[in-house]
Amino acid sequence: MSKDDCKNDTAVGVGSLAGGGGQRWVRGAEECEGVVMGKTRDRGKPKGIGESLPTGEKLDALLDTQVSDQFLRGMIARMEMSFFKYGDIRDAYPKRVNAIESLRQRLDKYAETGNTEYLIDAANFAMIEFMLPSRPEAFFAATDSDKSPGRVDRFGNASAKANVETYDYGRDGD
């Protein structure tokens, strides 16, 4: 692979994840400086995505603990299968199929059954909505935590606290 391949994004290949082999994100990423998640850092993605990602060993350590290769490979494998089963997503979304309602259905099925495959499907529908938004006014804007709705803790409370902060629920044993 040449440096031009990296610059032109020809190094990108979905088979690298679906095929396994311990590769992440991009076929030949070890040969491309600054290539993250299938795009070069200097172009090809909305402002704010991946601007301050760590590199090298720090990135590997982060990805080993904070990202699931199995989940991402599952997403790609299911998108590949769907392509051959249903056809190109651009022919269905958003004109014929509602990605958001399909996503909600998968979350409901996961809540009902506990089958984590539904989470992979839900993630794919979120990705499809990102790629082919049903809302004409859809946009991407990186936001800070002050604009985030936060996360919901195990008691149903919304919070922006870090994972290591102490939570005080006023209940014994929590």
Phi, psi dihedral angles at 53 (to 5 degrees): -70, 140
Domain ranges in the chain are 3-66, 69-131
pTM for this model (two decimals): 0.64
Per-residue pLDDT of the chain (174 residues; tens, 9 = 90+): 444 444 443 333 333 344 444 333 333 334 344 434 443 333 344 445 555 666 778 888 888 889 999 999 999 999 999 999 999 999 999 999 999 999 999 999 999 999 999 999 999 999 999 999 999 999 999 988 888 888 898 888 888 888 877 656 555 554
| Angle at alpha carbon of residue 118, lines to 15 and 44, rounded to 5° | 40
CB distance 128 to 99 below 8 Å = yes
| Amino acid identity for residue 19 in this structure | G
Quote the distance between the C-alpha of residue 141 and its chain's center: 16
